[in-house]
């Protein structure tokens, strides 16, 4: 079996996959590949798939498969698998890092210190204790965030059409979540119901000064409406790991010019531990499919 590792995985993975066949990392050899391993960087478009006539399996190391034209892959009999369970803790910890750091004024405090400014009087922090966290998307990652927020003494409410009940959050409507949350964590997949979900209408219903953290997908917010809400102080701060594209359009992304935006370059899943867990899942998938004679 010929396996192309196309994106960044744990460096031990090529060695762990050697027992399945030849493993290579040169994208120019895609036409030879029977299995392709991608994360989010490679876009498996129709053209990409058509350029790999021997392909039987695409494994997306991670959760969302919106970088893969799954319908086209299916039409050609190519299996598309992902590793959805692996990343939950890694992403939840990054969301918590934003949720802790933003009200703690960690980043402006640090930046000012690097500029020899001692903002002891100016920087007033807010606590998480007894604040309400609204979790938008109570799936695997949202649930891990809810559990951690409870440990901070927060009230946790959640909104998710597929999760009527949760032991970790009181489930409420979207309008109630927007109206009651002091902080909102967005952990949504990108689909027709979530694209641009946090738009001007939704932002018209939030508590003034709400902190929004997005570790789901960049396109679930309307960037122009959010930038305007940040400029007006309707939204107190926005912490985001996710963008309209990776990387964002640095010249034209309105959020890059808006105040109180805290940013990371889509590293939610990129913990060392998670890359190892993703590798474990890739090996299990290959073992299972090989045993079933599907490869
Ligand atoms: P999941 O499928 O377990 O949970 C997503 C939840 O969102 C589901 O329960 C679903 O019902 C809910 N949902 C869908 N539409 C909704 C709507 N309109 N309103 C409210 N809830 C809605 O997925 P997960 O493992 O928790 O991952 C969530 C998302 O996080 C992924 O789809 C992916 O886009 C993103 N993600 C980002 C990173 C990163 O690096 N930042 C890493 C992994 C995953």
> Ligand 1 center to residue 26 CA distance, Å?
31
Return the DSSP state at 204.
T
Four-residue CA torsion sign, 11, 13, 14, 19: positive
pLDDT at site 163: 98
**pLDDT 10s digits, 134-176:** 999 999 999 999 999 999 999 999 999 999 999 999 999 999 9
Average pLDDT rounded to a whole number, residues 108-131: 98
d(C-alpha 229, C-alpha 107), whole Å: 21
Burial class (CB in 10 A: 0-12, 13-18, 19+), 66: middle
For residues 78 and 99, state if they share a domain: no
Number of domains comprising the chain: 2
> pTM of whole model > 0.95?
no
pLDDT at site 179: 98
pLDDT at site 295: 85
Atom number in ligand 1 closest to CA 215: 41
For residues 209 and 94, state if they share a domain: yes
- Name the strands in the sheet holding 132-136, side by side, starting at the edge strand that comes first in the sequence: 170-171, 155-159, 132-136, 183-186, 210-214, 235-240, 261-263
For residues 20 and 93, state if they share a domain: no
Task: Provide residues with CB under 6 Å of ligand 1.
Answer: 62-64, 84, 87-88, 91, 136-142, 159-163, 187-189, 191, 193-194, 215-217, 241-242, 266, 268-269
For residues 179 and 62, state if they share a domain: no
CA angle, 272 then 273 then 279, to 5°: 95
Q: What domain range is 78 assigned to?
A: 2-82+272-291
| Phi then psi dihedrals of residue 74, to 5 deg | -60, -40
**How many other CB atoms are found less than 10 A from the CB of residue 189?**
15
Q: Are 221 and 235 in contact (CB under 8 A)?
A: no
**pLDDT 10s digits, 4-42:** 999 999 999 999 999 999 999 999 999 999 999 999 999
pLDDT bin (cut points 50, 70, 90) of residue 64 is confident
Return the residue whose CA atom lies nearest to atom 42 of ligand 1: 269
**pLDDT 10s digits, 248-267:** 999 999 999 999 999 999 99
Place of tokens 């939204």: 235
pLDDT at site 156: 99
Q: What CATH number is given to the structural domain containing 182?
A: 3.40.50.720
For residues 35 and 104, state if they share a domain: no
Mutating to test ligand 1, I would choose from 142, 175, 187 the residue with most ligand atoms within 8 A of its C-beta, which is 187
Q: 204: which strand partners?
A: none
For residues 53 and 110, state if they share a domain: no
Residue 101: is its pLDDT beyond 90? yes
For residues 73 and 99, state if they share a domain: no
Place of tokens 């798939």: 49
For residues 120 and 258, state if they share a domain: yes
For residues 105 and 232, state if they share a domain: yes
Q: Are 180 and 168 in contact (CB under 8 A)?
A: no
pLDDT at site 113: 98
Q: Percent of the chain at pLDDT above 70?
A: 100
| Phi then psi dihedrals of residue 201, to 5 deg | -65, -45
Q: Are 221 and 198 in contact (CB under 8 A)?
A: yes
d(C-alpha 5, C-alpha 188), whole Å: 27
223 to 101, 182, 193: CA distances (angstroms): 22, 20, 17
Centroid of chain to Cα 76: 29
Atom number in ligand 1 closest to CA 162: 11
Q: Percent of the chain at pLDDT above 90?
A: 98
For residues 24 and 90, state if they share a domain: no
> Ligand 1 center to residue 140 CA distance, Å?
8
For residues 170 and 277, state if they share a domain: no
pLDDT at site 154: 98
The average confidence (pLDDT) of the chain is 97
Give the residue among 19, 62, 112, 31 at the shortest CA–CA distance from 269: 62
For residues 22 and 111, state if they share a domain: no
> Ligand 1 center to residue 52 CA distance, Å?
30
Residue 294: is its pLDDT beyond 90? no
């Amino acid at each position: 079996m010929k396996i192309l590792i196309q994106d960044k995985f744990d460096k031990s993975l090529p060695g762990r996959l050697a027992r399945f066949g030849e493993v290579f990392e040169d994208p120019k050899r895609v036409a030879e590949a029977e299995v392709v391993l991608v994360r989010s960087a490679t876009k498996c478009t129709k053209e990409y798939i058509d350029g790999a006539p021997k392909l039987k399996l695409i494994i997306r190391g991670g959760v969302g498969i919106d970088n893969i034209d799954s319908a086209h892959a299916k039409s050609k009999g190519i299996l598309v698998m992902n590793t959805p369970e692996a990343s939950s803790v890694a992403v939840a910890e990054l969301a918590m890092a934003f949720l802790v750091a933003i009200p703690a004024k960690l980043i402006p405090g640090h930046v000012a210190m690097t500029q020899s400014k001692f903002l002891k009087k100016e920087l007033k922090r807010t606590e998480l204790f007894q604040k309400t966290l609204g979790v938008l998307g109570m799936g695997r990652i949202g649930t891990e965030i809810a559990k951690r927020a409870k440990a901070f003494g927060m009230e946790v409410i959640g909104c998710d059409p597929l999760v009527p009940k949760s032991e970790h959050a009181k489930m409420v409507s979207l309008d109630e979540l927007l109206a009651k949350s002091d902080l909102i964590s967005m952990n949504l997949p990108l689909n027709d119901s979530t694209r641009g979900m946090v738009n001007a209408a939704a932002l018209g219903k939030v508590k003034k000064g709400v902190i929004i953290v997005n570790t789901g997908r960049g396109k679930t917010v309307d960037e122009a409406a959010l930038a305007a809400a940040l400029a007006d102080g309707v939204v107190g701060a926005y912490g985001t790991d996710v963008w309209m594209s990776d990387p964002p359009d640095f010249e034209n992304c309105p959020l890059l010019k808006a105040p109180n935006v805290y940013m990371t370059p889509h590293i939610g899943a990129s913990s060392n531990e998670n890359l190892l867990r993703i590798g474990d899942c890739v090996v299990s998938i290959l073992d299972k499919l090989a045993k079933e004679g599907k490869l």
